[in-house]
Amino acid sequence: NVGRRSKLWVPFVLIFLIMTGYMWMVSPIMNPEQIEMSQDSKLMQMIPEDVREQQYEQALNPSTPQRLGQALQGGFFVMVQMMLLALLLGWFIKLSGGTGRMVQSMGIVAWAALIPMGLGPLLTLPIILQTESFFGTSIGLAALLPDGDPSSLLYKILYMFGDFFTWWGVALLVIGYRRVYGLSQGAAATTVILVWFIAVLFASAPMLFLM
């Protein structure tokens, strides 16, 4: 169905609404926690202590316009991520011998993203609100660590690469590109996983190395 008529607006609208609402709810928890985790980083040490305290207070008690702006920014950022991933995957899939159109690549990525960017946030939101910890909440390999320290490098790596909803979405990408672009399962899996890994590594570099 995605290959014939992708109806891109449906997953894009759903994901934008879900992520915007999700960011509205979690930003007063996520932003202060992010500042706390980065206190010992070289970047934060360059900022005067009074400025850091002011930033923390603003993150803890954001105004309604600030909170709305962060929520909308989070929704649009996910949209941009999805489009960039679709462009990268569409290009690399064609290099691997696939035949298809870029709008089909957009459709595959958008519909597959409903799992990690739609279902995932809806299921983890109650846990985040209950525990009052954004980075400490994981439905994936990071939750298996005995200490569960969100500031440790191992936790960050498992948090970014070990989410079960993300794996589910990647599996759907492999199926989608195999069916729509006519690739073998091995070629589709290799290309999708490699591009996804590079994209996530690039996007998560600040979290992994600056915090």
| pLDDT, tens only, 84-119 | 999 999 999 988 888 888 889 999 999 999 999 999
| pLDDT, tens only, 132-172 | 899 888 888 988 888 777 878 788 888 888 899 999 999 99
pLDDT value for 46: 61
Phi, psi of 101 (to 5 degrees): -105, 155
Query: What percentage of the chain exceeds 90 in pLDDT?
Result: 44
pLDDT value for 50: 66
* Structure tokens given for 117: 């960017």
State the pLDDT confidence band at 209, using cuts at 50, 70 and 90.
Answer: low
Question: Given the structure tokens 């462009």, which residue do they identify?
Answer: 87
Whether 42 shows a pLDDT value over 70: the answer reads no
User: Residues 64-72: what's their mean pLDDT?
Assistant: 91
Rounded distance, CA 42 to CA 172, Å?
39
User: Residues 38-50: what's their mean pLDDT?
Assistant: 62
Roughly what angle, to the nearest 10 degrees, separates helices 185-209 and 64-95? 140
